[in-house]
Structure 1
Amino acid sequence: MGGIGILQIIGALWYPRIRHNGMMGFLVYDSRPLVMKFAGASAMPQTTLPRRRWMMSALPGVLFGMLLVLSGATQAAGVIQSAGTADTLPFMANLSDIPRDLAAMQERKIPMLLFVHASYCGYCQLVDSSFIQPMLDDPAYQGKLIIRRIEIDAPLSILDRHGIEETNMHFARRLDVRLVPVVAFFGPDGREIGDSIKGVTVPDFYPYYLDEGIKLAEQCAKTPDPTRCMPSKVAGQRSL
């Protein structure tokens, strides 16, 4: 039963579709003797197919199907193994596990760029497509920081730095986010570095503000200096 079932599936996938009396179908296995039927049709003629000829014709399909199965299994095993390694912290991802991110940032002495956005925000999409997403494929940023994203109106949750779960909206309120988009920078200690970039005032100047913020964040992640690293436009210093 198992062997015939596999041959049935592989044969159906391997053999090309054929036309008979104006109806389109493909070769399927029915019962002994092997017959040609039109799958999905109700009343159709049957033509007996010689067993040896069918077996020889089906052999390439069987081999091809086995290669596909083995290839898929190998790829799946590779994904599982890759996901289980310790050095798989993503460069860009949704903010979901602050303790994990902070531990990696402290080990590597790199900052976090936090992109706060919302599904209803058109300017958020502009910043994301024009400035945030291109960084993913830019080798100039690889290994120098991590990028985390948070959609404030998404029904998701985050592990805060104490391991307590909170919603995206609660996190945004805790950081006093009142408008989007916001790009903020945080050091390995979880504290904010420099001034965040709020909204989009002049798109032509946005790359400059973004690069300046990243440079300061990288410097402060390696050599903290309160006189340079503290935000200057707001009172106090926010923390993740």
Structure 2
Amino acid sequence: MTLSAAQGLPAAENLAQDAGRMRAEALPMVVLYSQAGCTWCEEARRYLVPMSSAAETRDHALYRQVDIDSDAALVDFEGTRTTHREFARVRKVRLTPTVVVYGPDGARIGHCRHEAA
């Protein structure tokens, strides 16, 4: 079981398939980039998990989690098989938590990450 499954946020598995739904329903995707032992990631999940299931927000976006320290299988937006770790590396995500909003073509349309004080 991935960290995201244990915490209630759906793990990214097939983003190409998700993109089809995003196009059909005109939805963005909110992705939490996380890693094991990240206490700030737990804080982010405390907000995102309820948003992913609350009636007033769940139909306005898809919510997924990518674990940057995991070799779990993932199909990216282009349909290429990869891993969570490699997907994050290619997108230059090195800090966690990072929250990115993607459009159905896989383009980043917004992001936020924790900055050390």
Greater gyration radius? 1
SS in 2 for 1:136: helix
So what's the TM-score if we normalise by structure 1?
0.43
Counterpart in the other structure of 1:119: 36
Cα displacement (A) at 1:180: 0.5
Aligned with 1:197 (options 103, 112, 116)? 112
Aligned with 1:147 (options 63, 68, 75)? 63
Identity fraction in percent: 26
**CA RMSD after TM alignment:** 1.7
Compare the two structures and name the one with the higher helix fraction. 1
Cα displacement (A) at 1:137: 3.5
Q: CA-to-partner distance for each residue in 1:125-159, whole Å, 9 max, x for gaps? A: 12112x11121342111211100111111230111
Structure-to-structure mapping, 1:55-134, within 5 angstroms: 93-129=10-46, 131-134=47-50
> Is the contact between residue 52 and residue 62 of structure 2 (CA under 8 Å) also seen in structure 1?
no
Structure 1: give runs of 5+ residues left out of the alignment: 1-91, 203-240
User: How many residue pairs were aligned?
Assistant: 109
Structure 2: give runs of 5+ residues left out of the alignment: 1-8
- Runs of 4+ off more than 3 Å: none
So what's the TM-score if we normalise by structure 2?
0.84
Compare the two structures and name the one with the higher strand fraction. 2
Q: CA-to-partner distance for each residue in 1:156-203, whole Å, 9 max, x for gaps? A: 011123322111111111000121100010112221113x1111669x
Structure number with the bigger relative contact order (C-alpha 8 A, sep ≥ 6) is 2
Q: CA-to-partner distance for each residue in 1:60-79, whole Å, 9 max, x for gaps? A: xxxxxxxxxxxxxxxxxxxx
SS in 2 for 1:147: strand
Q: 1:161, 1:136 → 2: CA distance?
A: 20
